[in-house]
Structures are given as structure tokens and as C-alpha cells.
Structure 1
Amino acid sequence: MSGRDGAGPAVGEVGVQVLYLRAVIRVYGPWTTSQTISADERALAVRRVRYAGDLLADLEAQLPRNEVR
């Protein structure tokens, strides 16, 4: 979906993406240091958190300051 001008996602859609990425970081963050899961699962969690963090930084840089908290 795109915004009204068709140039990119609507602000509401970006807000939903931001909330989703924050949830990914909250859920998988503890797995990045957990010793109760396998090294493969831990590595997957690290990749997911890193990727979500990078995307989140990019998206938040595009939003007005008060858009999503």
C-alpha cells in the first residue's frame, strides 16, 4: 500500500511497521544473550534484532518526532 500520492507507504503504515519492529526487538532481544537456547537460535535472534534495529532507525528518521511513541 502507498500513501495518497503513491510515492511510498502512508504515515499510518509506517507507524505500524515501527511498532512491529519494536516488538521484534523486545521479543528476540533476550534471546541474544540466553544460554538456554542453541547457538544457532541465538545467532538467528541476533540477526533479527540487528535487522529490526536498522530498519527501525531508518523508519524513525523519516517520521515526524511526535508520530509514533
Structure 2
Amino acid sequence: MGKKRVMKPAEEQQAILDATGRVLRVNARAGTGKTTTLQMITSAHPGQSKFSGTPRRLRRRGRKRSA
């Protein structure tokens, strides 16, 4: 097996990683590194994190119903 590549977090990712013990909401566009950031969090704090996501389609549906 090859070496595991260690990625240095971007400034925005580091701010998220530094916010341990808090509830966070991360809004970002596709391809900005959300999944990578989640992987960094779980590596740094195994068994201490919970994640939830809402598909865009369901958010739109909810907005239409509440309008």
C-alpha cells in the first residue's frame, strides 16, 4: 500500500476544525471541500461527531410549502 496523503486544510477548513465542541452549519457550493472537511473532522475526533445533511431538492420543497 502507498503512503496516505495528508492534506493541509485551507483557512476556511481550519476554522471549522478549530470549532470543536460546537454545533456548526456549513454552507458551501459543490466542489468546495465539504466532504474532505468532514473526513478531517472524523480523523481528528473519531467517534465524537454527528453529521446531518439535507438534499437541495427537499429544501426547495420545504420553502415552497412554507410560502
Fold shared, TM-score > 0.5 on shorter chain: no
Q: Tell me the TM-score normalised to structure 2 length.
A: 0.31
Greater helix fraction, Structure 1 or Structure 2: 1
